[in-house]
């Protein structure tokens, strides 16, 4: 096995480097990158067709890799340019927009997504393609294809105020959504385009299938799971059910992913052999399987894991038609490059990262685990194969899960062993229900069977949730820890293929590097630190002194603490419920905290320092920014970090 045998695996790193280059401050602009890419491709073509005898492989490959790097940067700069152009809408007096989806029920309103077609500034209308997330309270639901006239401008989605708080602005921007607006009833439906065409075919089809599933499945909770499992619609999922599946370690079942595409693929491939088709007919059948896979991918919203799986199974099917088996590593790299070309920001999506890591873990680590035991009975062999797949995927993905979610499901093996086979059965019933559910008797029968299967699945998940110690929470892992785990797994996977001496030295180096990073972080930890968090109407103070943490809460609610304060506490290994700061209130209203070097006035939101701090920072755009030293600061709008 040589690295040279995997060309797309060689190309992918250069495309990724180009993406990172395009997002850096010193990246060339769109025009310069376009010129460089054109020149590099022209040189490559001239050298290949006219001077191939006089040019070395190294020179040709260098130009090709440079082109990939520039192409990656170009993708990012092109997306930035489109965003900069659309920012003019913030000055718009009114705009025309087209409804792109069906309403989603929220507690006090309905959510929808508009695509602006043109906006008015002064007396001039400007064409645009801008997405706006809106909330309305209209008596009539909005439907895809309707044209709205809105006579007020939208607002930008703000960045999070507190450190390590979930960045909703960034999450939406990677979907091309940069603005939002509360409309209430202040808009007009002035027209409706023909929504029967291809543009809205899948939107209407998804909606109708969803309504059909809800009507055919008698149990409400089962219907929610069916919508999530079959169509990827999990926004309305009950929080209790969501928590049960999370603790069982099978939340990935409810997010339409490569698992679901694989089940559909297996369903059609398994019946190929009994059909005993001729060679030409078999090829047509396999081509139809590819079309079905991609129809399902579009129907469920083209999530990263679904696109990855659809691309993989399509290439495997094409290889089967040509009686060849392409390399799984090439397929993975090619599908990743395809998705990055369509949307360079996809590399930051958690679903994209977890999907590819899980498949890599199964391909590289699962055979090693499987070979540890060779069961004699078929039932035990099946259980062991399923266990080895779950272990391999979990080993590779758990560092990233801890980094993002800070939770580890203790009973993930039990959940996967019991629920994954059931999910396979549910898909075998659910897919026919999606296709034949319109037939009265057949649809009702399939709906009842599906409802019963999902009820059993929910019961298993809920039972696992009731077992004590179902999850380890408030865990975290930094970037150096992730690199260490993945490096060690790569060493284990390559132990039988590479030089054991070199791999041993590499493992030793990783251990020392991890220890060095941990020591550096320990040395950088200040002895005294004050963090000021901003709530909607109040502030919360966390004061750390020599490893002990104390807190003072002016009035932030517990739900708001979990969203705004806990992310930073978890990231910095601070306790969930710190001890309370002891404060004395002066006649002026000033609060003096015992054992600290600051006072706080709750009315005018002023923080005064009794001794000069070493440094003051405020949180902005995902990082701490230096603030000019002063003897007091107003803490009514920003989060602050003060070192003493």
Residue owning tokens 């003060």? 642
pLDDT of residue 258: 74
- Positive or negative torsion for Cα 137, 138, 141, 145: negative
State both tokens at 581: 């700061």
Percent of the chain with pLDDT over 90: 25
* Alpha-carbon separation of residue 211 from 273, 439, 443, 495 (angstroms): 35, 15, 13, 53
Percent of the chain with pLDDT over 70: 94
Whether the per-residue pLDDT at 550 is higher than 80: the answer is yes
Q: Which residue has the higher pLDDT, 283 or 466?
A: 466
Please write down the long-range contacts of 40-44, taking CB distance under 8 Å and 24 or more positions apart. 40/66, 40/67, 40/70, 41/67
How do residues 13-65 score in pLDDT, each as one tens digit? Answer: 999 999 998 888 888 888 888 888 888 888 878 777 766 565 666 677 888 88
Q: Which candidate, 264, 140, 144, 134, places its Cα nearest to that of 208?
A: 144
- By the 10 Å C-beta count (0-12 exposed, 13-18 middle, 19+ buried), 2 is classed as exposed
- Rounded average pLDDT over 281-307: 82
Separation of alpha carbons 392 and 366, rounded Å:
5
Exposure of 473 in the CB half-sphere (CA atoms within 13 A): 12
**pTM, full prediction:** 0.85
Counting runs of H as helices and runs of E as strands, what totals does the chain give?
Answer: 21, 22
Residues 6+ away with beta carbon under 8 Å from 356: 308, 332, 336
Hey, which residues does 618 pair with through a beta bridge?
A: 625, 640
Q: How many residues does the chain have?
A: 644
Look at domain 92-195 and name its CATH class: mainly beta
Strands 598-601 and 591-593: antiparallel
Q: Which candidate, 69, 511, 75, 217, places its Cα nearest to that of 227?
A: 217
What are the helix (H) ranges across 174-219? 198-216
Contact call for residues 377 and 395 (beta carbons, < 8 A)? no
Burial 554-571 (b: 16+ CB within 10 A, else e): eebeeebbeebbbbbbbe
Number of Cβ atoms within 10 Å of the Cβ of 448: 15
Q: DSSP letter at 160?
A: P
State both tokens at 85: 């152009």
Q: pLDDT band at 589, cuts 50/70/90?
A: confident
How do residues 379-400 score in pLDDT, each as one tens digit? Answer: 888 889 989 999 999 999 999 9
Give residue limits of the domains in the chain: 3-86, 92-195, 200-318+327-473, 479-523, 526-643
Whether the per-residue pLDDT at 484 is higher than 90: the answer is yes
Q: pLDDT band at 585, cuts 50/70/90?
A: confident
Q: What are phi and psi of 431, to 5 degrees?
A: -65, -45
How do residues 241-277 score in pLDDT, each as one tens digit? Answer: 888 888 888 887 777 677 778 888 877 777 766 666 6
């Amino acid at each position: 096995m040589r690295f040279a045998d995997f060309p797309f695996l060689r190309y992918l790193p250069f495309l990724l480097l180009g993406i990172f280059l395009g997002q850096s401050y010193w990246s060339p602009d769109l025009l310069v990158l376009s010129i460089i890419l054109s020149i590099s491709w022209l040189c490559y073509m001239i050298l290949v067709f006219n001077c191939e005898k006089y040019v070395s492989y190294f020179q040709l490959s260098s130009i090709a890799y440079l082109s990939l790097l520039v192409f990656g940067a170009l993708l990012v700069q092109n997306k930035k340019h489109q965003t900069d152009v659309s920012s003019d809408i913030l000055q718009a007096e009114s705009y025309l927009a087209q409804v792109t989806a069906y309403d989603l029920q929220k507690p006090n309103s309905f959510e929808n997504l508009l695509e602006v077609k043109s906006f008015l500034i002064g007396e001039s209308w400007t064409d645009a393609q801008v997405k706006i997330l809106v909330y309305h309270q209209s008596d009539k639901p909005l439907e895809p294809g309707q044209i709205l006239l809105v006579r007020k401008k939208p607002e930008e989605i703000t960045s999070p105020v507190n450190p390590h708080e979930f960045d909703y602005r960034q999450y939406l921007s990677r979907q091309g959504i940069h603005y939002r607006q509360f409309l209430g009833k202040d808009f007009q439906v002035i027209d409706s385009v023909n929504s029967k065409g291809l543009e809205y075919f899948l939107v209407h089809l998804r909606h109708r299938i969803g309504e059909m599933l809800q009507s055919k499945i008698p149990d409400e909770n089962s219907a929610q799971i069916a919508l999530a499992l079959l169509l990827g619609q999990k926004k309305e999922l009950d929080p209790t059910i969501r928590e049960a599946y999370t603790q069982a370690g099978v939340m990935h079942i409810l997010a339409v992913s490569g698992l679901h595409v694989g089940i559909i693929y297996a369903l059609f491939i398994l019946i190929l052999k009994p059909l005993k088709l001729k060679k030409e007919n078999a090829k047509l059948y396999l081509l139809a399987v590819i079309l079905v896979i991609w129809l399902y991918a579009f129907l469920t919203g083209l999530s990263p894991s679904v696109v990855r799986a659809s691309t993989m199974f399509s290439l495997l099917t094409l290889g089967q038609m040509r009686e060849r088996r392409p390399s799984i590593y090439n397929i993975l790299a090619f599908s990743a490059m395809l998705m990055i070309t369509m949307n360079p920001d996809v590399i930051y999506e958690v679903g994209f990262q977890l999907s590819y890591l899980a498949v890599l873990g199964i391909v590289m680590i699962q055979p090693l685990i499987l070979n540890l035991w060779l069961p004699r009975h078929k039932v035990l062999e099946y259980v062991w194969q399923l266990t080895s797949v779950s272990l391999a995927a979990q080993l590779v993905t758990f560092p990233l899960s801890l980094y993002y979610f800070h939770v580890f499901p203790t009973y993930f093996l039990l959940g996967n062993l019991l629920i994954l086979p059931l999910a396979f059965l549910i898909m075998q019933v659910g897919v026919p229900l999606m296709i034949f559910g319109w037939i009265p008797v057949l649809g009702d029968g399939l709906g009842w069977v599906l409802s019963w299967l999902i009820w059993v699945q929910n019961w298993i998940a809920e039972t696992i949730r009731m077992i004590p110690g179902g999850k380890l929470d408030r865990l975290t892992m930094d970037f150096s820890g992730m690199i260490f785990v993945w490096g060690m797994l790569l060493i284990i996977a390559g132990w039988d293929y590479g030089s054991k001496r070199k791999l041993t030295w590499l493992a030793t180096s990783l251990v020392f590097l991890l220890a060095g990073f941990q020591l550096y972080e320990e040395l950088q930890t200040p002895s005294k630190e004050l963090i000021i968090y901003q709530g909607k109407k109040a502030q919360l103070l966390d004061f750390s002194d020599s490893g002990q943490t104390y807190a003072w809460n002016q009035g932030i609610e517990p739900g708001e603490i979990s969203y705004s304060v806990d992310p930073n506490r978890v990231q910095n290994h601070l306790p969930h419920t710190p001890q309370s700061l002891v404060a004395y209130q002066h006649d002026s209203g000033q609060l003096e905290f015992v054992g600290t070097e600051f006072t706080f006035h709750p009315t005018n939101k002023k923080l005064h320092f009794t001794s000069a701090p070493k440094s003051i920072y405020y949180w902005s755009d995902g990082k701490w920014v230096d603030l000019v030293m002063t003897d007091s600061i107003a803490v009514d709008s920003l989060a602050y970090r003060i070192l003493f």
